[in-house]
Amino acid sequence: MKKWKLIFLAALIIFAALQLFNPARTNPPVKNDIITATKPPKSISASLRAACYDCHSHETFWPFYARIAPVSWLIASDVNEGREHLNFSDWPTEADRAAIKMDRINEVLDYREMPPIKYTLIHADARLTEAQRKEIMDWTAVIAQKFRSGTPSQ
């Protein structure tokens, strides 16, 4: 057999073997959904769902390529890390903690850190317009203040 054929065959075997080690694609039960808890305007709920929920909730849409290693590991680690930092399906019930989370959302949107570019490159519907970004930011500021003055939700 020619050398390149052997290399190709070896790569194929390694790729196939990797598929045995795909991470779990979980969607645990929703505990306290941010939208249910804070009742934002419909336009904001839609933006959050389109731009954030895949990584920051228990309602992740796992695409077909999330089943294929090694891409599956990258996606699963983003989702796990995203949920760990901020979980819209496990929204804090304590007003002071919720206020801090609102501040953080405001901050990452201000610095355009979220949604990550690597994500919006593939997910056009997750790209926020300036108006959508501003709308969420203004809302987080109002809600954070409400939480701090002791009148949670709307």
Q: Is 40 in the site for ligand HEC (CB under 6 A)?
A: no
Applying CB under 6 A, does 108 fall inside the site for ligand HEC?
yes
Q: Which stretch binds ligand HEC (CB under 6 A): 5-13, 25-33, 53-61, 65-73?
A: 53-61
Give how far Cα 13 sits from Cα of 5, 10, 16, 66, Å. 12, 5, 5, 20
Residues in the chain: 154
Closer to ligand HEC by Cβ: residue 51 or 76? 51
Residue choice 81, 94, 96, 138 for contact with ligand HEC (CB under 6 A): 81
- Among the listed ranges 11-19, 32-40, 59-67, 75-83, the one in contact with ligand HEC (CB under 6 A) is 75-83
Question: What is the rounded CA–CA span in Å between residue 69 and residue 17?
Answer: 9
Find all residues with CB under 8 Å of 152, minimum gap 6, and list them: 95, 98, 146
Shortest distance in whole angstroms from residue 13 CB to ligand HEC = 31
Check residue 31 for interaction with ligand HEC (CB under 6 A).
no
* Alpha helix positions (H), 58-129: 71-85, 95-110, 117-120
Q: How far is the CB of 52 from ligand HEC (least distance, A)?
A: 3
Binding-residue total with ligand HEC (CB under 6 A): 17
The end-to-end CA distance of the chain, in Å, is: 71
Binding site for ligand HEC (CB under 6 A): 51-52, 54-56, 78, 81-82, 85-86, 104-105, 108, 114-116, 119
